[in-house]
A and B are shown apart, each in its own frame.
Chain A
Amino acid sequence: MFAVVQFPGSNDDRDLLFAMKSVLGCESELVWHKRAELPAGTRAVLLPGGFSYGDYLRCGAMARFSPVMAAVQRFAEAGGPLLGICNGFQVLCETGLLPGALVRNESLHFVCDSVHLRVERSARPFTTRVRSAALLRIPIKHGEGAYYAPPEEFARLEARGQILLRYCDAEGRVTPEANPNGAVGSAAGVVSERGNVMGLMPHPEHAVDARIGGRDGLAILGSLVDAVEGRA
């Protein structure tokens, strides 16, 4: 069972459910944020994009107090795979399940665009379907998506290989021009020290159809499925 948490104000929840259920063929369901427990048999939890509670406060700051988040936290602490996308990433940082924070884009504008990502490491449970240094093309859409961690902490994350995806150009070069939001180290995807929790600013659920934005999102979502089903 893949649990897609639905906060009030989530708006990529149904797209993520569609990707997991209809494209990847996994048993999946939307889990309302007021539930105290995850559904029985939950094997992975996904926090979708959107604007939980309108993001009128700091993004994700309200959602971390939703009843379901205590269960999500226990699930992750027990080693269960947990993926937060965009607003979900912000919630994970607010909850402390991931280090760092997401701050206002350098341009001060919301940005919606297709970007290239370099996969730094092929690793369970999120990137086994791609080899290291592979390029993915996946869209971003956010106003507060610049990843930030203090220099010493970021250096530690780098040293432990926790920066799993970086913004890059079409040739795979990590350059300031290819960094769409001013993220430190061009970080687009960050994993926890144990590796079972990932936060991702790009939206893999919007790249699951060859004719609508391509299928590169399946590299990540599919890796998660492989990990859960014991294929990776």
Chain B
Amino acid sequence: MSPLREPKVDLDLAREHGLSDREYQRILEILGRTPSFSELGIFSVMWSEHCSYKSSKKYLKQLPSQGPQVLQGPGENAGAVDIGDGLAVVFKIESHNHPSFIEPVQGAATGVGGILRDIFTMGARPIASLDSLRFGPLEDPKQQYLLHGVVEGIGGYGNPVGVATVGGETCFHECYRGNILVNAFNLGVVEADRIFRASAAGVGNPVIYVGSKTGRDGIHGASLLASAEFDDRAEAKRPTVQVGDPFTEKCLIEACLELMRTDLVVGIQDMGAAGLTCSSFEMASNAGTGIELDLDRVPQRETGMTPYELLLSESQERMLLVAKAGREDEVREIFERWDLDFAVVGRVTEGGRMHVRWHGKTVVDIPVDPVAKSSPELDRPAAESPALRERQKLDLASVGPEEEPEAALLALLDSPNLGSKRWIYRQYDQLVQGNTVIGPGGDAALVRIRRSDGEPTDKAVALAVDCNSRFCWLDPRAGAIAAVAEAARNVACTGARPLALTNCLNFGNPEKPDIMWEFAEATRGMGEAARALGTPVISGNVSFYNETSGRAIFPTPTIAVVGLLEPWQCHAVSAFPAAGLDVVLLGRTREELGGSAWLALRRGLEAGLPPAVDLAHEKRLHGLLAAAVARGLAQSCHDVSEGGLAVALAECCFTGRAQIGASVELADRMRPDALLFGESTGRVIVASSDSAGLLAVAAEQGVPALRIGATGGSRLRISPPRGRAWIDCEIGLLRESFERAIPRRLERA
């Protein structure tokens, strides 16, 4: 056997590993010697931005994460929320942006695989996925290729693994042309007293490796791929992308859930970013123990792997668990039945050190906590960009009024951002596990909860993911508030009560003060909104360095809110369910066109201040929706967002199974284009069989409400009290624009 030849470790090599000079100095202090090559690799991934949150920690600590419903806040694989009767839901959203840009199919697939493992690691059965996707303009063939690949990857993993994809969002904007966003969300159900955590407790207990074999894929995915900017040589980083195997993941889910029904497990952690290294350090650190690992026992896909490669590989579908001593064979039996690899690779030790052997030699011997807990915390300079004030300026008087409202409505419906996403979600299994009460295409998805024995309950969770990144670009704080408010409002539109949120914070390079300022502002806004709406932040993920050749994406703090509805049998849909219902508008319309889709599409302007959010009103509105749905006063509820009232009304008409027209009259107290297309927040269109009852409850709860028309017929008519209608159009025509928006652009290529 040839002896191990490894590069000499020095400052230059540390720099190549993405470590700063100060960080390298700190490593020398911790060890009191020069690190081995493997040790350097460990520090570089554990202290990478992706794993250590070194730039964001300071801000994340300020987010509200407590509440009587919270069973597990940030810090574990995912957060958990109590939903009553001994049940809990576990959920999280995570980014896989850079891998998906480089290799869209595998990048997106392994994004789904990774988030699923975060959920079932906690003992929960994954039941529902959402995806938040952002691409450059759809007319660009490269973006079409990326869209095809990402959708294929999400479906190609999510479908075989047997977890329904029930919703999401997809946006297209120039700023994502060189750096697409793929954020994957998953939610699982678990008995509240059966939540598992990543802990290597109990000195002498065996450390067990299960799942797939380890290969050379994904080495430095976390440190070099996720924690650095892109340039035109990004594709050379393709070998850092992992390859997904949904079949193994499916078997791993079933085997782990079976194992967790026993009393054999002490702690469990998935091998995600930084693989074996990150999982073992986190588990030891959480328990205040050490771990002794023997790399020769790690199941390997390739021969001749070095300790460095074994420790840093990000091969997928692997888990590390600590079981009770002496019961290894019971664990083995479960994994062998599912034809999965099983190996005892080490044991828990006293003294808080990580000791790794390879071919009988010690290759790593470092203290656990300085690596896992004392990773650097940075206070990077943050400063507002001088360009911000410029883009916030908008003199509406100089913006020509919309001359053709009907053409504007058709154009908005035909834009890929507002148009139907059916082409995408038709490629996902939305039904498996049989719980999808409301699938993709509505305000929020609604998913029934079953007990672990498969019997259904009267509970359902409502899920929505949102972010208007144009708002965030114009004002990161206001944009983040709007994102939380919109996601929660979407959940409330089903009748559910918003419970908690998870976030995926996609930003540019944090080493730039204006990006750090955007991050600081956005997290501040998110915190304010989460506090006001009673939806604590229970999990999340930060994705920095979303830049290519120095151009950052719009700040995109994606927010997913989860709510509870019980009994779910009483819920509201988005689209008008029948003719002859009153149409009621909840909330107040202001003359707000700043940052609107109309302004961007019809006037080519991305400017102004985003619409204001009144969080107290928003909270009252959510309460009103829950009450109205429960009392049968609201048969459909649809939130007014991008494209304003006209687009929202059109969607109410044609997104249901039946096509139901409506005739609506709006008092013309402001410029008509602001009335029709302005994006004032806190508004919901309700179809009600008892509008008098609804208005009375709204008045009691202090929510402005107005009957604006009625459903029926085959046209959408929106008019002022006197004079010609602004819009009077066959629903079929509106629907055609909406449905063809994405397919027609893909066909032309």
The interface of chain A, by Cβ under 8 A from chain B, is 8-9, 11-12, 14-15, 17-18, 22, 34, 50-51, 53-56, 109-113, 139, 141, 143, 203, 205-206, 208-209, 211-213
Contacts A112-B429, A112-B431, A212-B437 hold; do A53 and B247 have CB atoms under 8 A apart?
Answer: yes
Residues in chain B near residue A22, CB distance under 8 A:
454-455
Across the interface, which residues of A come within 8 angstroms of B430, CB to CB?
A: 112, 141
Which listed segment binds A: B153-161, B326-334, B608-616? B153-161
Q: How far is the CA of A209 from the CA of B433 in the complex (A)?
A: 13
B159 — which chain A residues lie within 8 A by C-beta?
A: 51, 110, 141, 143
CB distance from A226 to the nearest CB of B (A): 22
Chain A residues with Cβ under 8 A from B455's Cβ?
A: 22
Give A208 to B250 CA distance when docked, in angstroms. 25
Residues of chain B contacted by A203 (CB below 8 angstroms): 431
Contacts of B337 in A (CB 8 A): 34
Contacting pair A11 B431 (CB below 8 A): no
Write out the residue numbers on chain B whose beta carbons fall within 8 Å of the beta carbon of A111: 426-427
B697 at interface, CB cutoff 8 A: no
Q: Known contacts A54-B160, A206-B434: does B250 contact A9 (CB below 8 Å)?
A: yes
Would you list 5 pairs from A and B whose C-beta atoms are within 8 A, ordered by A residue? Answer: A11-B162, A15-B433, A51-B246, A112-B430, A212-B437
Using known A-B contacts A11-B160, A141-B432, A212-B437, determine if residue A17 contacts B246 with beta carbons closer than 8 Å. no
Residue of B nearest to A56 (CB): B247
B106 to chain A, nearest CB (A): 15
Cβ-defined partner of A12 (8 Å) among B338, B339, B432, B435: B432
The reply to whether B426 and A109 form a contact with Cβ atoms under 8 Å apart is yes
Give min CB distance, B735 to chain A, whole Å: 16
Asked if A9 contacts B426 (CB within 8 A), the reply is: no
Can you list, as one digit per residue, whether each of B718-738 has a CB less than 8 Å from chain A (1) or not (0)? 000000000000000000000
The 5 closest A-B pairs by CB, nearest first: A54-B247, A11-B162, A51-B160, A15-B434, A206-B431
B135 within 8 A of A: no
Known A8-B338, A18-B454, A112-B430; 7 more pairs at CB < 8 Å: A8-B250, A14-B454, A54-B248, A113-B426, A141-B159, A212-B434, A212-B448
Q: Size of chain B's interface in residues, with CB distance under 8 A?
A: 32
Q: Give the docked Cα–Cα distance between A17 and B434 (Å).
A: 11
A130 vs B436: C-alpha distance when bound (angstroms): 26
Taking each of B425, B426, B448, which has the highest tally of chain A beta carbons within 10 Å of its own beta carbon?
B426
Q: Do residues A212 and B435 form an inter-chain contact, with CB atoms below 8 A?
A: yes
The B210-255 residues at the A interface (CB cut-off 8 A) are 245-248, 250-251
What residues make up the interface of B, taking CB atoms closer than 8 Å to A? Answer: 155-156, 159-162, 245-248, 250-251, 337-339, 425-437, 448, 454-455, 569
Question: Given the complex of chains A and B, what is the CA–CA distance between A203 and B164 in angstroms?
Answer: 14
- Rounded to whole angstroms, the CA-CA distance of A54 and B156 in the bound complex is 10
A141 contacts B429, C-beta separation under 8 Å = yes
Determine the distance from Cα of A54 to Cα of B113 in the docked complex, in whole angstroms: 14
Q: Which residues in B have their C-beta under 8 angstroms from that of A15?
A: 432-434
**Which residues of A have CB within 8 Å of B339?**
8
Inter-chain contacts of B161 with A (CB < 8 A): 11
B214 smallest CB distance to A (angstroms)? 19
Question: Which residues of chain A are within 8 angstroms of B433 by Cβ–Cβ distance?
Answer: 14-15
Centre residue among B337, B428, B432 by max chain A CB count within 10 A: B432
Q: For the complex, give the distance between the alpha carbons of A213 and B434 in Å.
A: 9
CB-CB under 8 A from A50, the residues of chain B are 160, 162
Cβ–Cβ < 8 Å partners of A205 in chain B: 434
Closest residue of chain A to B657 (Cβ to Cβ) is A114
Closest Cβ of chain A to B590, distance in Å, is 38
Q: List chain A residues, Cβ under 8 A from B248.
A: 54
Q: What distance in Å separates the Cβ of A147 from its nearest Cβ neighbour in chain B?
A: 20
A70 to B: closest C-beta gap in Å: 20
Query: What residue of chain A has the Cβ atom nearest to residue B435's Cβ?
Result: A212
- Of all chain B residues, the one with the shortest Cβ separation from A206 is B431
A212-B251 in contact given A109-B426, A113-B426 (Cβ < 8 Å): no
Check A212 against B426 for contact (C-beta < 8 Å).
no
Q: Which of A8, A53, A54, A112 is the one whose CB lies under 8 Å from B428?
A: A112
Complex Cα gap A109–B432 (Å): 18
Q: With contacts A8-B339, A11-B250, A17-B454 known, is A54 near B245, CB below 8 A?
A: yes
User: Given A18-B454, A212-B448, do A8 and B432 touch, yes or no (CB 8 Å)?
Assistant: no
- Which residues from A are CB-within-8-Å of B428? 110, 112
Taken together as a complex, chains A and B put the C-alpha atoms of A49 and B251 apart, in Å, by 15
Are B426 and A11 within 8 A (Cβ)? no
Nearest CB in chain A to that of B568: its residue: A211
Contacts of B426 in A (CB 8 A): 109, 111-113
Alpha-carbon distance A15/B162, docked complex (angstroms)? 11
Are the CB atoms of A8 and B434 closer together than 8 Å?
Answer: no
Q: Which residue of A lies closest to B165 (CB)?
A: A112
Closest A residue to B251 using CB positions: A8
A16: shortest Cβ distance to chain B, in Å?
A: 9
Contact yes or no, A54 B246, CB < 8 A: yes
Q: Which of A15, A55, A112, A211 has the most CB of B within 10 A?
A: A112
- Min distance, Cβ A24 to any Cβ of chain B, angstroms: 14
Q: Quick one: closest A residue to B249, CB to CB?
A: A54
Residues of A within 8 Å of B425, CB to CB, are 112
A141 and B431 within 8 A (CB): yes
Distance (Å) between the CB of A145 and the closest chain B CB? 12
A73 to chain B, nearest CB (A): 23
> Closest residue to A15 on the B side, CB-wise?
B434
Residues of B close to A56: CB separation below 8 A = 247
Min C-beta distance of B427 to chain A, whole Å? 5
Question: Which B residue's beta carbon lies closest to that of A210?
Answer: B569
CB distance from B722 to the nearest CB of A (A): 41
Separation in Å of the A2 CB from the closest CB of chain B?
15
User: Contacts A113-B426, A211-B569 known; A8 to B247 CB distance under 8 Å?
Assistant: yes
